[in-house]
Amino acid sequence: MKKSFYLMLLAAIVFAGCDKNNVSKLNEKIIGKWMPVDLDGQAVLTDDQSVYTFVSSATAYMSTSAVPSQGDENAWGEPIEMDVVIKGQKMTLTYSLGENTKAVEVLKFISIDDHQFTADYKITVTENGKEVRSNEGEIHFSKVTDEFSQDLLGTWECQGITGSQTHNDDNARLEFFPDGSYDFYRKNVAGEWELVTDRVLNAFFVDGKFLATRWESAGQPMEYEYWEIESIDDNGMKWSALRQLPDGLRYRQGVRWKKIE
């Protein structure tokens, strides 16, 4: 009887473990918005971030920090449609990165629940049918439940930055508009906020908590900056970003903003 009890207990533990890592009904569990957290234990840099939104078991969309190829600047900020094929624990995503460039991502799921999933991952990029890039490893995704695209609209004044100064330093004010443009202000020597007028373009998009910005000053190349919005509430707004220096050193930036009514 004692032996039978322990066998039953062991079976219950094994069953619980299997249930935790259950990847059955993947076509239902994958629906929603997901962001990659790390690949082989290496955290994903904010400048390399993407957001995957599965609207069905056959179609998904990806917003990405990837800069479009030259001459295709209008594609920036437009979600990339992906074809989804799910067979058992394997999911294949196929999408276009340009007229002659195709990407295929294969994920073999290890575990998935309401908050995260882990999978063996491989991406292959081809141009004119020839492989030009590939990467693989064990990837971990986290589910995104926040949607800050509307909460971001309006005018915000920087209250401080940690990690390093950026274009959005402690002398910055941003006004975000519904059409995906924004205005950038700086305080002059008299303490008054002035619109920066040498910019010919300011654009942004938000997907979940991922914020992408770009701007172009007259006669200068386009610049890009990416953030994750940690929170927006009555106390203000917080951004964070994981960056990497040319020497490989990683650091985290943070920015605090207050809403200007």
Q: Does the pLDDT of residue 97 top 70, yes or no?
A: yes
Q: Are residues 128 and 210 in the same domain?
A: no
Residue 203: pLDDT band (50, 70, 90) is very high
Average pLDDT over residues 128-135: 93
**What are the b/e assignments for 196-215, b being 16+ CB within 10 Å?**
eeebeebbbbbbbbbbbbbb
Q: Are residues 120 and 44 in the same domain?
A: yes
Which pTM value belongs to this model?
0.87
Residues above pLDDT 90, as percent of the chain: 77
Question: Would residue 242 be called left, alpha or beta, if left means φ above 0 and alpha means ψ between -120 and 50 degrees?
Answer: beta
Give me the number of domains the chain comprises. 2
pLDDT digits (tens, 9 = 90+) for 146-177: 999 999 999 999 999 998 777 777 789 999 99
CB 78 within 8 A of CB 64: no
Domain boundary among 143, 177, 203: 143
Burial of 231 (0-12, 13-18, 19+ CB in 10 A): middle
Average pLDDT over residues 49-55: 97
Determine the structural domain holding residue 160 and report its residue range: 154-260
Burial of 153 (0-12, 13-18, 19+ CB in 10 A): middle
Q: Are residues 204 and 249 in the same domain?
A: yes
Token output for 84: 């989804």
In a domain, 149, yes or no: no
